[in-house]
Chains A and B, each alone.
Chain A
Amino acid sequence: MAARQHYGEKMNYLERTLMKMGTLVVQELEKSIEALKNQDVDLSQKIIDSDINVNEIETDINEQCLTLIAEEQPVARDLRVILNALKVSHGLERIGDNAVHIAKSTIKLSQEKYIKPLIDIPRMAEIAIGMLNDSLDALVNLDAEKAVEISKRDQLVDEIYSQVFRELITYMHEDPSKISQSMTFLFICRRLERVADQSTHICEGVVFVAKGESSELNP
């Protein structure tokens, strides 16, 4: 039997809880884009209602980390895992808020016909959610090299964001009646751009846990 088995079990449980939170947030985000595309008010409301689950897991993770620090005096990689779990859970909670924001926008736009077919927003969402998913994978496997690779996709999300930004400004210039909806889409894009940034933060966390080095992957 390995020494301090119960301690190892608590550390494993923390990591499992974090992954459960990650999976939940990815699902909520995917649903929010699905609901946006289909102008699905019911699904949007479900996303808003279930945000409390994400918040509860964050509280649970905070408590687990505090208990581990207080009772087990973690050092080395264990300590890095715990510090990182606090940061990542906070980041995931923010990403969950983004899903809620998108769901609220969908409800707001539910009675309007979209000014244009949604192409770039789902594309941006796909890349950002892909980054989130892969960064969580890299975290499970402590794959620092993969984390660095994933973070590079943030550039692409930023480019699409700028492009959509310009496009929507043009719409607003041409037809002031489209300003309200354009602004809503713009805010949605901003949220997705933040998801990519948050995913990059998770990648930085992977490097920190795996190598003990602080890095700035999105300078």
Chain B
Amino acid sequence: MEQKTGEKIKLQTKNMNLYYGNFHALKDVSIDIVQNKVTAFIGPSGCGKSSFLKSINRMNDLVDIARIEGTIFYDGIDVYKAYDVTELRKRIGMVFQKPNPFQMSVYDNIAYGPRVHGIKRKNALNEIVEKSLKAAALWEEVNDRLHESALGLSGGQQQRLCIARVLAVEPDVILMDEPTSALDPISTAKIEDLIYELKLEYTIVIVTHNMQQAGRISDTTAFFLLGEIIEVDATDKLFLNPKDKRTEDYITGRFG
């Protein structure tokens, strides 16, 4: 699946609708998400950003009343028809708003995923742990306490640990749902720098309430409102000259 510019489309939704019971949460969402780019979703609370994210790796399967219409393609394949959910979530990892390390050591947090996927050899696991922690810019800070509890790390370190945990299963896409909203500015800057590095190898989709963050780190920004995508454009264009009045009102903070 190639765009005219030669950019590869990693994820694509076509007329996707999501319902929670009678509530129509996402309305005819069609968007292309380009490989090795950072795509940011912005919009007020409850507009469907996180629901959209969770639909991509089928986390909404866990919600009984959720029902999806339309299609979501990952590398051109319909994720709801042709994918095993475990395999899909290995390929499309997710980082949440609050750091959620498991109650185990730093090492075991990272090794958990690879072990589930059948890697048992100590050397192989050591290698994965080191590589993942380095990629998440955490290795220098924790390599002397790999076997201590992950809960002893700071909030910013825990969040980078969660990113390392995602990287350990060698995903292709990383979904991030407000990954820095619980972090201080320095930890936030570290995660943002990390995202900048990670996009060389991964495709990143991030939900953020921090408009400046979307401006700083994303290549493309999509503005959601009441379950619809109002506008999607190159980030610099969307922040300097949005086409839709509602986008302008939202990003300038004059909404409401």
* Stretch of A23-31, A69-77, A128-136, A188-196 contacting B (4+ beta carbons < 8 Å): A69-77
- Contact in complex: B252, A2 (CB < 8 Å): no
- Contact in complex: A73, B212 (CB < 8 Å): yes
CB neighbours of B255 from chain A (8 A):
3
- Contact in complex: B240, A80 (CB < 8 Å): yes
B103 within 8 A of A: no
Q: Quick one: closest B residue to A79, CB to CB?
A: B240
- Contact in complex: B241, A76 (CB < 8 Å): yes
Q: Quick one: closest B residue to A78, CB to CB?
A: B252
CA distance A128 to B199 in the complex (A): 53
CA distance A78 to B242 in the complex (A): 12
A75-B211, A76-B251, A77-B248 given; A212·B256 CB < 8 A: no
Residue picked from A4, A76, A77, A78, most chain B C-beta under 10 Å: A76
- Size class of the B contact interface (CB-based, 8 Å): 10 to 19
- Contact in complex: B240, A3 (CB < 8 Å): no
CB neighbours of A211 from chain B (8 A):
241
- Size class of the A contact interface (CB-based, 8 Å): 10 to 19
- Contact in complex: A77, B254 (CB < 8 Å): no
CA distance A2 to B256 in the complex (A): 6
Q: Quick one: closest A residue to B211, CB to CB?
A: A75
Q: In chain A between 1 and 33, which residues have their CB closer than 8 angstroms to a CB of chain B?
A: 2-4, 7-8
Residue picked from A7, A73, A75, A211, most chain B C-beta under 10 Å: A75
Q: Quick one: closest B residue to A7, CB to CB?
A: B253
CB neighbours of A73 from chain B (8 A):
211-212
A79-B240, A212-B241 given; A74·B252 CB < 8 A: yes
Q: Quick one: closest B residue to A76, CB to CB?
A: B248
- The contact string, 1 if C-beta is below 8 Å from chain A, for chain B 226-249, is 000000000000011110000110
CB neighbours of B211 from chain A (8 A):
73, 75
- Contact in complex: A77, B252 (CB < 8 Å): yes
Counting from the closest, the 6 A-B pairs by CB-CB distance are: A212-B241, A4-B253, A3-B256, A75-B239, A76-B248, A75-B251
- Residue numbers of B with Cβ under 8 A of A are 211-212, 215, 239-242, 247-248, 251-256
29 contacts between A and B (CB under 8 A): A2-B254, A2-B256, A3-B253, A3-B254, A3-B256, A4-B252, A7-B253, A7-B254, A8-B254, A73-B211, A73-B212, A75-B211, A75-B215, A75-B239, A75-B240, A76-B239, A76-B240, A76-B247, A76-B251, A76-B252, A77-B248, A77-B252, A78-B252, A79-B239, A79-B240, A80-B240, A80-B241, A211-B241, A212-B240
